[in-house]
A = this chain, B = another copy of it.
């Protein structure tokens, strides 16, 4: 996969797809965007620990240090990947909720959408939640926490609606949301780890969980 004879040929760099470079001498239309997308692609295909800056550079036909014009370091790249992940997740949760109206069906649809996002983008999800980003990375990218809070907020809002409809007990909606979040997060993580493969389709487990939770948090 990698040339085994270092510094041998003269300049056989730039492995693939030079058509990626739009025009202009040597800059992309939007290197930053391209970097982000390439990172997500290799992360989802091969896992975070396989992502190398030199690799994404090569994929884009760009030097391995070009990235530093757009991100402080590797960690900043990953933080941005996570931020966009939270944004996408929030949009998909809202869409699921909208498409199914409120009530129990809407609640289960959101749960399914959450787990579907995680299972559909396992490595992306892991960058968001897998402890890959440290405190410094969070501090350097305030938008990350914001988007994370936004995704969580979608859950809280849905719960509040259910409470107003008299479908859910009037506990603190934040505590309720944290509980629900734990469940879908737990299912997602176990599914991503392949630990649920012996136990039938994940959708079935999500449905079962949503039913049991529904009973557990129903208004009395």
The interface of chain A, by Cβ under 8 A from chain B, is 47, 49, 122, 126, 129-132, 134, 148, 171, 174-175, 178-179, 181-187, 189-190, 192-193, 195-196, 199, 205, 208-209, 212-217
Is the beta-carbon distance between A181 and B185 smaller than 8 angstroms? no
Known contacts A130-B131, A131-B126, A134-B47; A179/B216 CB under 8 A: no
Residue of B nearest to A186 (CB): B186
- By secondary structure, the A interface counts as helix
Chain B nearest CB from A3 CB (Å) reads 23
CB distance from A91 to the nearest CB of B (A): 20
A175 and chain B: residue at smallest CB distance: B208
Partner of A185, one of B130, B132, B175, B190: B190
Residues in B neighbouring A132, C-beta threshold 8 A: 49
- Contact residues in B for A213 (Cβ distance below 8 Å): 212-213, 216
Q: Give the shortest distance, in Å, between A202 (CB) and chain B (any CB).
A: 10
In the complex, what residue of chain B is closest to A169 when comparing beta carbons?
B212
* Beta-carbon contact of A186 and B181 below 8 Å: yes
Give the residue among A49, A131, A132, A134 with the most B Cβ atoms within 10 A.
A131
Task: Judge whether A182 and B192 touch: CB under 8 Å.
Answer: no
Q: Is the CB of B187 within 8 A of A182?
A: yes
Q: Which residue of B lies closest to A188 (CB)?
A: B186
> A212 touching B216 by the CB < 8 A rule?
yes
A129: contacting residue among B174, B178, B189, B199, CB under 8 A: B189
A-B contact pairs, 8 of them (CB 8 A): A49-B132, A129-B189, A129-B193, A178-B196, A185-B189, A213-B213, A213-B216, A216-B217
Q: Is the CB of A47 within 8 A of B214?
A: no
State whether B126 touches A192 (Cβ < 8 A).
Answer: no
Residue of B nearest to A199 (CB): B178
Name the residue on B nearest A220 (C-beta).
Answer: B215
A10 to B183, CA, bound (A): 57
List the B side residues contacting A185 at CB < 8 Å.
186, 189-190
Q: Which residue of B lies closest to A49 (CB)?
A: B132
